[in-house]
Structure 1
Amino acid sequence: MKINKVLNNNVVVVKEGHEEIIVMGSGLAFGRKKNDVINPEKIEKVFVMQDKNEYEKFTQIIHMLPEEHISLAEQIITYAEKYLRTNLNEHVHIALADHLSFAIDRIKQGFSLHNKLLHEIKALYPTEFEVGKWAVELVYDQVGIRLPEDEAGHLALHIHTAKMNGSTMNEVMNTTVILHELITLIEETLQVRVEEESISYQRLMTHLNFALKRVVEQQPFQDVDPEMHDLVKDKYQQSYETSLKLAEHVKDRLEQKLPPSELVYLTLHIQRIEKKKENEV
C-alpha cells in the first residue's frame, strides 16, 4: 500500500484503482512522502469517502484542526461503532471532529454552552449518551480538558444522526426541540416539575417520540374504542385538556393532527404525572 497524498503525520490517502482510501494511524506518515510504502503495523483505521464533496471537506478539516483533536474524534467514532454495533456514515468524520475541536477551544477560553435539550437526549438516546460520556472522559484523559455533561449530549446527537440510514441532524434536532416544548407545556399547564429520572418521564418521552415519528412519516396510529376514549376524557378531565394542548402544539409545529386515539394514550401518561403531583401535596 503506497501513499498517494499525505494529509498530516497520522493520515494519508492511498489509491486502489480509481478509489481513494483514507488510512489513519499514529505517526503513520511521519517523515513519509508520496509513493512511500505504508508500514501495515501502524495502520489503525481504513475508510472510504464515496462522496467527493465529503472527501474535500475532510481534507480541509484535517489541515485546519489540531492533529490531537482529529485523533480524539476518530477514537470516539471507533468506540461508538463497537459500542453501538453499527457503522456510522462518512460525514461523522467531519462533523464530530469539527464540533469536538470547537468545544475544546471554547472550554479553554472559559466559555461553556448550556444544552437545553440534555434531559431529552438522555431519555431518547441513552446508549449514544453513554458514548458521549465516554468521549468526555477520553478528552480529559488525553488533553486534560474537562468538557461538561452538556457536551456529552451534543456528541450523542452527532453519533445518533451518524447511524447508517438514520435521520439527519436537522430532523433529530427538530424532533428533540418539539419534545422539549411539549414537556415544558405539560409543566406549565399542570404547574408541576416533571422529574427527568422518573419512569413516568421516560415512558412519556418514548411515547411522544414515536408519536412524532408516526406523524412525520404519516404512519397509522393504533385505534382506541370510542367508549374508552369517552371514559378517559370524562375521568381525567385536566389531563385530557392538557393532551389537547399538546395536540394543538404538534399541529402548529408539524401541520398535522394527532388522532383522537393518541389523545387517550397521552392523557394516561399525563395522568401519571398529575397523580404524582397530587400525592405530594
Structure 2
Amino acid sequence: MMFIMKIIKKINNNVAVCLDANGHELVAFGNGIGFPKMPYELTDLSKISMTFYQLNAHYHQLLMEIPQDILEISAEIVKTAQFELNKTLNPNMVFSLADHLHFAITRMKKFKDLKLIFSYDIQQLYPRETNLGRYTVQLIQKRLLITLPESEITTIAMHFVNAQEEIAINEDEPNVEELIVRSSEIIEQTFQLTLNKEAFHYNRFVMHLRYYIKRMQQEEQFIDSNDTLFRTMKETLPSIYDCATAIATLIYQTLGIESTEDELLYLMIHINRIVKNTQ
C-alpha cells in the first residue's frame, strides 16, 4: 500500500500545510515541497524531514520569517532535550526556541553592545537545562558560524525550564493575565494603535512579556553594564522608553518588584518590535 500526503497550502518553499492519509492536518518540512502548484499529492515521503500536528496557526507566520537552518537546529536541539530531560516538553518548544534564536542573532547584529549576564544561579538550579543551553550555543557556532554571547546559555536554559512547565506562569496568578492586558492597553494608548490579539506578532510579544514577569518574580533579572545602549535608545526612541517605563511602573505597583535598567532595555526592544510590526 502506497502512503500519500496531500500538500494543500504553501508556507514557504520548504514548508507546507498537508493532509495525511487519514485526512489529519499537519505542517511538514521537506526540501522543495512548497514549489509545485497546490494542491498536489506527494508520494515520495522520504522528502519529508519533520512533521507537526495541531500546530497553532500563529506559527505559520513564524515559519515564513525564520530561516530554515535555524528551524532545523531548533528541532534537533528539542529532540536532544526530550532524551536528556526525560520529560514531555511543550509541543510548541521547537518554534518558540527557533524564534528566540533568530531574535538573539538579529539582536546581536543590531545591538552589538547589548550584554546580558550569564547566571550562575540558573546553572546551579538547572544544570541539565544549562548544558542544553551551552550545547545550543555551540551548535549555532558550528552550523552557522555565529558566536552567541555566553549569556544566551542562560536564556536558552530558561526556555527548557519553561517548556517543562508548559511555559506557563501559574494560572492561579490572575495578576499576570491582568498585567498582560493592561500592558497591551498602555502600548495602544501610547502609540494610538490597535493591537491585533489574534496576530502572531502579538502572541510573540505576550510570550516575551510572560518571561519578563517570570524572571522578575523569581529574582532572575538581567543585570549588566548596558548604560550606553540604554541611554542611546532612551534618547532616540523617547516614546518607546516612556511606554516601557509605564509598563515597568505598572508591574512594580502590582507585584512590588522594580525592573533593572537592563530589563527595561530588553522590554524596550520588544515594544519597538511589536509597534513596528503593527504599524
**TM-score class normalised by the smaller sequence:** 0.5 to 0.7
Alignment CA distance shift 1:113-1:38 (3 Å): farther
Alignment CA distance shift 1:117-1:107 (3 Å): closer
> Counterpart of 2:7?
3
User: Does the 8 A contact of 2:7 with 2:41 survive in 1?
Assistant: yes
User: Does the 8 A contact of 1:117 with 1:177 survive in 2?
Assistant: no
Post-superposition Cα deviations, 1:196-250, rounded to whole Å, max 9, x if no partner, equal xxxxxxxxxxxxxxxxxxxxxxxxxxxxxxxxxxxxxxxxxxxxxxxxxxxxxxx
Aligned equivalent of 1:49, options 30, 50, 54: 54
Residues 1:122 and 2:123 are matched in the alignment:
yes
> Counterpart of 1:78?
79
User: Does the 8 A contact of 2:10 with 2:34 survive in 1?
Assistant: no
1:47 aligned counterpart, secondary structure: strand
2:40 aligned counterpart, secondary structure: coil
2:96 aligned counterpart, secondary structure: helix
Post-superposition Cα deviations, 1:102-136, rounded to whole Å, max 9, x if no partner, equal 11112233525433472222122211111111110
2:95 aligned counterpart, secondary structure: helix
C-alpha distance in 1, partners of 2:59/2:69? 15
Letter in 1 for 2:129: E
Alignment CA distance shift 1:164-1:110 (3 Å): closer
User: Does the 8 A contact of 1:89 with 1:162 survive in 2?
Assistant: yes
C-alpha distance in 1, partners of 2:45/2:165? 28
> Counterpart of 1:23?
28
Matched positions, count: 181
User: Does the 8 A contact of 1:120 with 1:179 survive in 2?
Assistant: no
> Counterpart of 1:194?
none
> Counterpart of 1:13?
17
C-alpha distance in 2, partners of 1:58/1:38? 26
- Aligned residue runs from structure 1 range 1-281, under 5 A: 1-16=5-20, 19-25=24-30, 27=31, 29=33, 31-33=35-37, 34-49=39-54, 55-109=56-110, 111=112, 113-116=114-117, 118-163=119-164, 165=166, 167-168=168-169, 174=213, 176-180=215-219
TM (norm. structure 2) is 0.55
C-alpha distance in 2, partners of 1:3/1:90? 22
C-alpha distance in 2, partners of 1:75/1:48? 17
Larger Rg: 1
C-alpha distance in 1, partners of 2:130/2:114? 17
Letter in 1 for 2:50: K
Letter in 2 for 1:47: F
User: Does the 8 A contact of 1:117 with 1:176 survive in 2?
Assistant: no
Alignment CA distance shift 1:85-1:9 (3 Å): farther
C-alpha distance in 2, partners of 1:164/1:44? 28
Letter in 2 for 1:32: P
Alignment CA distance shift 1:112-1:155 (3 Å): farther
Q: Percent identity?
A: 28
Alignment CA distance shift 1:79-1:134 (3 Å): same
Structure 2 spans left out of the alignment, 5+ residues: 170-206, 224-254, 258-279
Bigger relative CO (Cα 8 Å, ≥ 6 apart): 2
